[in-house]
Chain A
Amino acid sequence: MIKISKQDYKKIVDHAVAQLPNEACGLIAGKTDGADKRIEKVYLLTNTDQSREHFSLDPKEQLAAIKDMRSLGYIPLGNWHSHPETPSRPSEEDKRLAYDKNASYLILSLMERENPVLNSFHIEGTDAKKEELIIEDRSEIE
């Protein structure tokens, strides 16, 4: 299971919409408790491909994000990217380029602009399994 705050979910959606027609991407960091993950910070990175069908994270921004995570005591949990025109599921290219079987791969579909869909996946080889994703209002919890 992976949890994300409503605020961070909105941050992803807002950035992905702002980057249309291109794909948007970034990193997620936080804490783990056994198999459960809690996203504490979402990073919005540049899609160096500047493409509506592909994304690549900027290594320099990746490095800065990793350092920031470390300074905050968070660990890298995975990444996120948007699918401007297709469903929220890993494409063949997403699977081919997913090297970390422990990572969570969040995919935001903007096929229906007024109804964005965010899912999380674990990817190992050609096998992608949906991971339970909870979008929670932390202002009530904390």
Chain B
Amino acid sequence: MKITVSGEVKEVKDELTIAELIELENVETPQYVSVSVNDEFAKSEDFKTQKLHEGDIVEFLYFMGGGQ
């Protein structure tokens, strides 16, 4: 199936989970990444079970923060 990841259309296996996509994309520091699927933020506890579907639009958002 085809999904869009960070603006790029990619061919991936059917029923790929978010956790598998994170691994496939070599996401660095995945513990600090939020994932949106079709503009909805996925819960991190669902990453291993939430399956992606044809045409899904996925964005990885890295936590950004700090302090003085």
Where the two chains meet, the residues of A that have a C-beta atom closer than 8 Å to any C-beta of B are: 23, 25, 27, 49, 51-57, 59-60, 62-63, 66-67, 70, 79, 81, 83-86, 90-91, 93-94, 97-100
Identity of the chain B residue whose Cβ is nearest the Cβ of A85 in the assembled complex:
B68
Main secondary structure of the interface of A (DSSP, over half): mixed
User: B68 and A99: CB pair below 8 A?
Assistant: no
Tell which of B16-24, B32-40, B48-56 binds the partner.
B32-40
Bound CA span A97–B66, Å: 6
Where the two chains meet, the residues of B that have a C-beta atom closer than 8 Å to any C-beta of A are: 7, 28-29, 32, 34, 36, 39, 41, 59, 61-68
User: B67 and A70: CB pair below 8 A?
Assistant: no
Identity of the chain B residue whose Cβ is nearest the Cβ of A60 in the assembled complex:
B41
User: A91 and B67: CB pair below 8 A?
Assistant: yes
User: A83 and B68: CB pair below 8 A?
Assistant: yes
Which B residues lie within 8 Å of A85 (CB)?
68
User: B59 and A63: CB pair below 8 A?
Assistant: yes
User: A90 and B36: CB pair below 8 A?
Assistant: no
Which A residues lie within 8 Å of B59 (CB)?
63, 66-67
User: B62 and A100: CB pair below 8 A?
Assistant: yes
User: B67 and A79: CB pair below 8 A?
Assistant: no
User: A23 and B36: CB pair below 8 A?
Assistant: no
9 interchain residue pairs of minimum CB distance: A94-B66, A54-B67, A56-B65, A83-B68, A93-B67, A86-B68, A57-B64, A59-B34, A99-B29
